[in-house]
Chains A and B, each alone.
Chain A
Amino acid sequence: MHIFTVTIRMLILLIAVSALSFILIAKAPIDPLTAYIGTESTLSQEAKDEIAAHWGLNDSLPQRYFKWAGNVLRLDLGESITYKRPVAEVIGERFSHSVILMLLAWALSGILGFLLGMKSGSLQGRLPDRAIKTFCLLLQSTPVFWIGLLVLSLFAVKLGWFPIGMEAPIGKLAADVTAGDRIYHLILPVFTLTIVGMGKITLYTRRKYIETAGSDFVLFARARGETSRQMFTRHIMRNIALPAVTVQFASFSELFGGMALAETVFSYPGIGTATTAAALNGDVPLLLGTALIGALFVFAGNLTANILYGVFDPRLKEGGDYI
Chain B
Amino acid sequence: MATIYNVGKKNHAHEKTGAGIAKCARANTGARLPAHARLMPATNSRRGLLIVICACLAYLLTVFFCGMFMNPELYAVNYGNKFIAPEWGHPFGTDFMGRDMFFRCVKGMSNSLAIGLAAAAISSVIGLALGISSAVIGGKFDKFILWCVDCCMGLPHLVLLILISFMLGRGEFGVLCGIALTHWPELTRVVRAEVVQLRTSQFILASYKMGMSKFQVAKAHVIPHVLPVYFVGLVLLFPHAIMHEAAITFLGFGLSADMPAIGVILSEAMAHLATGKWWLALFPGLMLMLAVVLFEAIGGGLNKLLSPASGHE
Residues of chain B with a CB closer than 8 A to A279's CB: 162-163, 165-166, 253
Say whether A52 faces chain B, with CB atoms less than 8 Å apart.
Answer: no
Residues of chain B with a CB closer than 8 A to A13's CB: 147, 150-151, 154
Say whether B140 faces chain A, with CB atoms less than 8 Å apart.
Answer: no
Q: What per-residue 1/0 map shows which CB atoms of B276-296 lie under 8 Å from chain A? A: 101001100100110011001
Say whether A224 faces chain B, with CB atoms less than 8 Å apart.
Answer: no
B269 to chain A, nearest CB (A): 7
Given A21-B155, A144-B247, A276-B252; A153-B289 close (CB under 8 Å):
no
Which of these, B159, B246, B253, B276, contacts A157 with CB under 8 Å?
Answer: B276
Say whether A205 faces chain B, with CB atoms less than 8 Å apart.
Answer: no
Contact between A153 and B157 (Cβ–Cβ < 8 Å)? Answer: no
Interface of B is mostly: helix
Interface of A is mostly: helix
A-B contacts, 11 listed (Cβ < 8 Å): A20-B151, A28-B167, A125-B36, A141-B243, A143-B247, A146-B288, A150-B282, A153-B281, A260-B159, A294-B159, A295-B155
Contact between B156 and A157 (Cβ–Cβ < 8 Å)? Answer: no
Stretch in contact with the other chain, from A38-46, A80-88, A187-195, A251-259: A251-259
Contact between B285 and A150 (Cβ–Cβ < 8 Å)? Answer: yes
| A229 to B266 alpha-carbon distance, docked (Å) | 48
Residues of chain A with a CB closer than 8 A to B296's CB: 137, 141
How many residue pairs, one in A and one in B, have C-beta atoms under 8 Å apart?
152
Say whether A280 faces chain B, with CB atoms less than 8 Å apart.
Answer: yes
Contact between A142 and B289 (Cβ–Cβ < 8 Å)? Answer: yes
Residues of chain A with a CB closer than 8 A to B158's CB: 256-257, 260-261
Say whether B212 faces chain A, with CB atoms less than 8 Å apart.
Answer: no
Contact between A295 and B154 (Cβ–Cβ < 8 Å)? Answer: yes
Say whether A244 faces chain B, with CB atoms less than 8 Å apart.
Answer: no
Given A279-B253, A280-B252; A130-B154 close (CB under 8 Å):
no
Say whether A202 faces chain B, with CB atoms less than 8 Å apart.
Answer: no
| A208 to B102 alpha-carbon distance, docked (Å) | 42
Contact between A157 and B155 (Cβ–Cβ < 8 Å)? Answer: no
Say whether B164 faces chain A, with CB atoms less than 8 Å apart.
Answer: yes
Residues of chain A with a CB closer than 8 A to B151's CB: 13, 16-17, 20
| A25 to B155 alpha-carbon distance, docked (Å) | 14
Given A138-B293, A279-B253; A145-B266 close (CB under 8 Å):
yes
Contact between B35 and A276 (Cβ–Cβ < 8 Å)? Answer: no
Which of these, B169, B252, B273, contacts A153 with CB under 8 Å?
Answer: B273
Contact between A157 and B285 (Cβ–Cβ < 8 Å)? Answer: no
Query: Which A residues are within 8 Å of any B CB, using their own CB?
Result: 13-14, 16-17, 20-21, 24-25, 27-30, 124-126, 130, 137-138, 141-146, 149-150, 152-154, 157-158, 164, 252-254, 256-257, 260-261, 264-265, 275-276, 279-280, 287, 290-291, 294-295, 297-299, 302
Most chain B CB neighbours (cut-off 10 Å) among A17, A152, A257, A302? A257
B184 to chain A, nearest CB (A): 15
Residues of chain B with a CB closer than 8 A to A28's CB: 166-167, 169
Most chain A CB neighbours (cut-off 10 Å) among B154, B243, B273, B292? B154
| A25 to B151 alpha-carbon distance, docked (Å) | 16
Contact between B247 and A27 (Cβ–Cβ < 8 Å)? Answer: no
Query: Which B residues are within 8 Å of any A CB, using their own CB?
Result: 34-36, 39, 147, 150-151, 153-159, 162-167, 169, 239, 243, 246-247, 250-253, 266, 269-270, 273-276, 278, 281-282, 285, 288-289, 292-293, 296
A292 to chain B, nearest CB (A): 10
Contact between B243 and A143 (Cβ–Cβ < 8 Å)? Answer: yes
A133 to chain B, nearest CB (A): 9
A162 to chain B, nearest CB (A): 13
Residues of chain A with a CB closer than 8 A to B252's CB: 276, 280
Residues of chain A with a CB closer than 8 A to B34's CB: 124-125
B261 to chain A, nearest CB (A): 13
Given A126-B35, A143-B247, A157-B273; A253-B153 close (CB under 8 Å):
yes
| A254 to B158 alpha-carbon distance, docked (Å) | 8
